[in-house]
Amino acid sequence: MYKVILCVLSCYVIGSQSAAAPFITPCKIGDNECLVKAAQAAVPYFSAGIPDLGVPPVDPLIIDDVNGDNGDLKLQFKDMKVVGLAQCKFISASLSDKKNLEFVIECPIDAVGKYTLGGKLAVIAVEGDGNFEIKTGNLV
């Protein structure tokens, strides 16, 4: 999910506001090394936010509500605070068919918040709520 957010924000800046974002380096199609370097150079800016472009800070990233429902099991995370995105490292990049830009990113993500869980896991009834803490090391 965080890859998508960072990629969408990067594409927005590159596509429409590059003059207002001097940290963006244009890359030639197929120059994946340039894409990785340009994306990595943008991380501190996106982490802190870019007020001139209306981009809020993403580290910490505050997420009000995330719901998961597979029919039998419902999971809700609320009041999440995610930290670590400022330490993301871009490993590789590829542009396929001039439309799809893909990055491999390592991020040491830590998240805290509240959860609610209810339903069945296989045949076992499960229920719970409370605080959660997730520590990932390097999430790829």
Range of the domain at 105: 2-135
The domain total for the chain is: 1
On whether residue 129 sits in a domain, the answer given is yes
Q: Decide if 91 contacts 104 (C-beta within 8 A).
A: yes
Summarised one tens digit per residue, pLDDT across range 32-46 is: 899 999 999 999 998
On whether residue 50 sits in a domain, the answer given is yes
Please give the span between the terminal C-alpha atoms of the chain, in angstroms, as a whole number: 11
This prediction has a pTM of: 0.70
Residue type at position 44: P
Q: For position 117, what pLDDT does the model report?
A: 94
Q: For position 101, what pLDDT does the model report?
A: 86
On whether residue 70 sits in a domain, the answer given is yes
Q: Decide if 69 contacts 81 (C-beta within 8 A).
A: no
On whether residue 140 sits in a domain, the answer given is no
